Amino acid sequence: MTLTEPSRALDEIKIGGMGASRKRVEDNRFIRGKGHYIDDVVLPGMLHMEILRSPVAHARIRSIDTSAAWDVPGVRLVLTGEMMATRNLAWMPTLSYDTQAVLATDKVRFQGQEVACVIADDPYIAKDACEAIVVEYEQLPVIVNPTQALAADAPIIRDDKQGQHDNVCFNWEVGDKDGTDRAFAEADVVSRIRMHYPRSHPSPLETCGSVADFDRATGKLTVYMTTQAPHIVRAAVALIAELPEHLIRIVSPDLGGGFGNKVPVYPGYVMSILASILTERPVKWIEDRTSNLISTGFGRDVYLTGEMALRQDGKILGVRMHTDSDHGAFFGDAQPSKFKIGLLHSAFSCYDIPTAHLTARGVYTNKAPGGVAYRCSFRVTEAMFFQERMVQAAAEDLGIDQAEFRRMNFVRDDDFPHRTPFGFLTDSGQYAKCLQVGLDAIDYEGFRREQAEAAKNGRLLGIGISCMTEPLGAGNSREYDILGIKMFDSAELRVHMTGKAILRTGAKTQGQGHETTWAQIVAHELGLPADDIVVEEGDTDTAPFGMGTYASRSTPVAGAAVAMAARKVRAKARKLAAHLLEVSEEDVEWELGRFYVRSAPDRGVTIQECAMAAYSNMPDGLEPGLEANAYYDPPNLTWPFGCYIVTVEVDPVTGVWDVLRVVAVDDCGVRINPMIVEGQIMGGLTEAYAMSSMQFITFDAEGNCIGSNFMDYLLPTAWETPGYELHEVVTPCPHHPIGAKGIGECATVGGPAAFVNAVMDALKGHGVRNVDMPLLPDRVHEALTTRADVS
Ligand code: PCD
């Protein structure tokens, strides 16, 4: 700092810049009931669509008789697979290079699969008419898990696919097999664990839906739909339906939560589009709760087995993992194309492990499509759960304290960038420090004493730790693409003459608060008050091309693009400032919100004055206007770190467990809006708690989905939800323009293992190594009484 350094820079917090816990601007409309969700879209002449779904899980369709449905007054159209087939639309490609039935033609392959649909004057007529459709099914044997799917005599579910002679949808492998074998040969101790991460459902409060509006006069197709990735949908419609891309407009309005559920393209969207083209009227489809729960993107359903090679002194020498994942009838989830099991191989990235090997097998079953990245960056929830359960088991086998075991194996702070055993490059972190903050906060030693004391009276207390780093922010485009479309993102910033601005990005908020936080990044870069910037996302006619919001990629990618676009605007504003100040550009200095003359700091112009000049007083030869766009292709993923510590008390008589305390230490680099970040962590922890304690979607032997409503599939309310104690550590991301890393999913990813580890710690000495989630009281009770694992 020189003596002439002026001190007129704006107080960044006051203008709502980076680090301000600015109130969420979108909440102004949400809490007033003024949000504009899919069901709020009402167009003149709009018709309504309802879907007839299969009651059985596996059956050949003998016949479909729709005549009675056509006779219901008010019915405009009835669609079957056969009719879709005449337009080559009975099947559609998925985002994972598979195919999925839009409407079943040959067979139904899961309960709830789309069989026919009715378009009518109102949704009630459409629903009644669906019930008038008669379908004759010839039932087939049903497969509901990988063991059945892989049996020698198993019926082939995907007999529609040429060359498919079994129920395997992929085999995939990564890591160093030979090196790992050697590590195991040298090990003093080999620790083993097997577990099932059960099927779960993202269940956003708002279900899926669409309003398709084809205008024959202009040839324009507008589709309002609940999608987390509008531009991917536009590309898919253009490439698959071969409609002209410039005449397709996808609008994703306000979304009542996404959580990965709104990434896949569902048959309902496709049918509403075709129905609008055929009827030449807008067609609305709104899914009901049960349809959402039984037919749309499930998460998890992975069987994991693993082994860890250990040296007696606690050093991890290598890891072997195998997964069998149940993808349901269609491989419909989205992940970067070259990674079949998502980023599951990001497991063990925070530990310094020389070698590892993973084999992954995906199978088809008679269940709805699964494997969706429910609040995780493509299967990392499963990866981190497995990792932290394995680490706890290994520490126990070695007789080393679980915190100490983690600390001794962590990647060190001075060892970044660090190459993980599966080949990722982690960017930065202070893992031991995060753990220590957490241990101090929960008073680890104190709790251990309390636990030992309580045990004397037969009370079961437990403490569980879960540490993880998550790969957030796909791309870079070299490694990450979906169906060949490279993963990067974008922002476009227009500053108006009075210094107000509009910002658009290729991301799509679903409740995360982008309207609030993106404006904060612009405020940070330009010194414009955040309140002067309006943020828009989700309309492909206006937003720059982007890959959408999932995998906590928005801050790492679109957020970076926002900073870069703002910097381009600042560079142009500098030219305007030089002109206004009548000095050369090199003599102009910047401080937040203002340019000034280096030799005369009192002589300056504000960014708003530059904006006005861009339209009213630009120098000769300078293009008018003040706007810029930026496409950002990140050099790497961002790697936030989380340490979650939970204490519980288990009732030895009933198996009921209560959470005593939850301490969360998150390092997501620089926080744009600390309040929003904390909200993300609390929401994430709540989902973690739900999965570990109560959520269960299962299927009976006939493939009936048990858990198709909120009476059976439980969402935690404020009453069950424990209180959270949040702490932070800040390790700025070295390659992100504002040092931020993603955070949206971290607590859901890392959280479940902390709850389960805590209960398992309480059960230590009772002969139990693993109880599969959800840890319902009867399962915990069974483990206590049988002194055996429960799956
Ligand atoms: N941030 C800040 N700072 C930092 C980071 C971040 O501030 N450092 C913030 C931002 O800006 C935003 C948020 O926070 O606002 C978040 O972010 P991120 O992390 O980036 O993320 P995104 O991308 O935006 O988002 C996504 C995520 C996901 S993925 C999910 S599931 C979930 C989460 O997000 N979802 C949801 N969260 C949430 N929230 C809400 N409300 N809603 C929803 O729906 Mo996936 O893959 O899809 O499964």
Q: Which amino acid is at 482?
A: I
Model pLDDT for residues 283-304, shown as the tens digit of each residue: 999 999 999 999 999 999 999 9
Give residue 632 CA to ligand 1 midpoint distance, Å: 18
Q: Which strand (E) or helix (H) includes residue 613?
A: helix 607-616
In SS3 terms, 555-594 reads as: HHHHHHHHHHHHHHHHHHHHHHHHHHHCCCHHHEEEECCE
Q: φ and ψ at 27, to 5 degrees? A: -65, -20
- Ligand 1 atom closest to the Cα of residue 640 is 8
Q: Residues enclosing ligand 1, CB less than 6 A?
A: 204, 228, 257-260, 373-376, 510-514, 517, 549-555, 668-673, 676-677, 680, 683, 740-745
- Best probe residue, ligand 1, of 555, 637, 681 (max atoms within 8 Å of C-beta): 555
Alpha-carbon distance of 696 to 699, in angstroms, equals: 10
Question: Could you count the other beta carbons within 10 Å of the beta carbon of residue 235?
Answer: 21
- Ligand 1 atom closest to the Cα of residue 372 is 48
Alpha-carbon distance of 777 to 786, in angstroms, equals: 14
Q: Report helix, strand or coil for 195.
A: strand
- Best probe residue, ligand 1, of 512, 521, 549 (max atoms within 8 Å of C-beta): 512
Cβ proximity of 466 and 746 under 8 Å: no
Which pLDDT score is estimated for 278? Answer: 96
Cβ proximity of 584 and 599 under 8 Å: no
Burial class (CB in 10 A: 0-12, 13-18, 19+), 670: middle
Which pLDDT score is estimated for 5? Answer: 53
Domains recognised in the chain with CATH numbers: 12-35+488-632 (3.30.365.10), 38-140+207-254+262-295 (3.90.1170.50), 299-474+636-786 (3.30.365.10)
- Decide the pairing of beta strands 283-286 and 47-53: parallel
Closest CA to 350 of 470, 190, 476: 470
Give residue 757 CA to ligand 1 midpoint distance, Å: 26
Which pLDDT score is estimated for 120? Answer: 98
Residue whose CA is at the smallest distance from ligand 1 atom 33: 744
Give residue 554 CA to ligand 1 midpoint distance, Å: 7
- Ligand 1 atom closest to the Cα of residue 257 is 44
Beta strand spans in 558-684 (E): 588-591, 594-597, 600-606, 627-632, 641-650, 657-667
Residue whose CA is at the smallest distance from ligand 1 atom 22: 552
Whether the pLDDT of residue 2 is over 70: the answer is no
The mean per-residue pLDDT over the stretch 224-240 comes to 93
Cβ proximity of 178 and 737 under 8 Å: no
Model pLDDT for residues 429-471, shown as the tens digit of each residue: 999 999 999 999 999 999 999 999 999 999 999 999 999 999 9
Give residue 773 CA to ligand 1 midpoint distance, Å: 25
Q: Report helix, strand or coil for 149.
A: helix
Share of the chain above pLDDT 70, in %: 99
Which pLDDT score is estimated for 483? Answer: 87
Q: φ and ψ at 462, to 5 degrees? A: -145, 150
Cβ proximity of 263 and 372 under 8 Å: yes
Nearby residues of 625 by Cβ (< 8 Å), 6 or more positions away: 614, 615
Alpha-carbon distance of 494 to 506, in angstroms, equals: 15
Give residue 552 CA to ligand 1 midpoint distance, Å: 5
Alpha-carbon distance of 400 to 313, in angstroms, equals: 9
Residue whose CA is at the smallest distance from ligand 1 atom 36: 259
Residue whose CA is at the smallest distance from ligand 1 atom 43: 257
Give residue 234 CA to ligand 1 midpoint distance, Å: 23
Which pLDDT score is estimated for 3? Answer: 46
Alpha-carbon distance of 580 to 600, in angstroms, equals: 14
| Residue 63 CB-half CA count within 13 A | 4
Whether the pLDDT of residue 1 is over 90: the answer is no
- Ligand 1 atom closest to the Cα of residue 259 is 31
Alpha-carbon distance of 424 to 404, in angstroms, equals: 25
Q: φ and ψ at 557, to 5 degrees? A: -110, -65
Question: Residue with structure tokens 């009835």?
Answer: 78
Give residue 338 CA to ligand 1 midpoint distance, Å: 24
Alpha-carbon distance of 656 to 670, in angstroms, equals: 39
- Best probe residue, ligand 1, of 469, 672, 680 (max atoms within 8 Å of C-beta): 680
Which pLDDT score is estimated for 240? Answer: 76
Give residue 646 CA to ligand 1 midpoint distance, Å: 23
Residue whose CA is at the smallest distance from ligand 1 atom 13: 512
Model pLDDT for residues 124-183, shown as the tens digit of each residue: 999 999 999 999 999 999 999 999 999 999 999 999 999 999 999 999 999 999 999 999
Whether the pLDDT of residue 765 is over 60: the answer is yes
- Ligand 1 atom closest to the Cα of residue 258 is 44
Q: Report helix, strand or coil for 312.
A: coil
ipTM above 0.90, yes or no: yes
Whether the pLDDT of residue 6 is over 90: the answer is no
Find residue 196's DSSP bridge partners. Answer: 303
Model pLDDT for residues 703-715, shown as the tens digit of each residue: 999 989 999 999 9
- Ligand 1 atom closest to the Cα of residue 513 is 15
Question: Residue with structure tokens 């550009």?
Answer: 585
Cβ proximity of 773 and 756 under 8 Å: yes
- Ligand 1 atom closest to the Cα of residue 204 is 44
Cβ proximity of 593 and 566 under 8 Å: no
Answer whether the bond into residue 417 is a cis peptide, omega within 30°: yes
Residue whose CA is at the smallest distance from ligand 1 atom 2: 672
Range scoring the smallest mean pLDDT among 63-77, 100-114, 227-241:
227-241
Q: Which strand (E) or helix (H) includes residue 363?
A: strand 355-363
The mean per-residue pLDDT over the stretch 269-276 comes to 96
Alpha-carbon distance of 518 to 524, in angstroms, equals: 10
Residue whose CA is at the smallest distance from ligand 1 atom 21: 552
Residue whose CA is at the smallest distance from ligand 1 atom 32: 259
Question: Could you count the other beta carbons within 10 Å of the beta carbon of residue 465?
Answer: 28
Nearby residues of 136 by Cβ (< 8 Å), 6 or more positions away: 61, 62, 63, 64
Which pLDDT score is estimated for 117? Answer: 98
The mean per-residue pLDDT over the stretch 3-25 comes to 85
- Best probe residue, ligand 1, of 13, 372, 552 (max atoms within 8 Å of C-beta): 552
Q: Which amino acid is at 266?
A: Y
Active site residues: 228, 375-376, 745
Q: Which amino acid is at 71?
A: D
- Ligand 1 atom closest to the Cα of residue 743 is 19
Model pLDDT for residues 352-366, shown as the tens digit of each residue: 999 999 999 999 999
Helix axes 746-762, 674-693, angle to 10 degrees: 40
Answer whether the bond into residue 475 is a cis peptide, omega within 30°: yes
Tell me what the pLDDT averaged over the chain comes to: 96
Whether the pLDDT of residue 530 is over 80: the answer is yes
Give residue 336 CA to ligand 1 midpoint distance, Å: 19
Q: Which strand (E) or helix (H) includes residue 761?
A: helix 746-762
Which pLDDT score is estimated for 781? Answer: 97
- Ligand 1 atom closest to the Cα of residue 549 is 23
Give residue 375 CA to ligand 1 midpoint distance, Å: 9
Give residue 514 CA to ligand 1 midpoint distance, Å: 8
Give residue 322 CA to ligand 1 midpoint distance, Å: 30
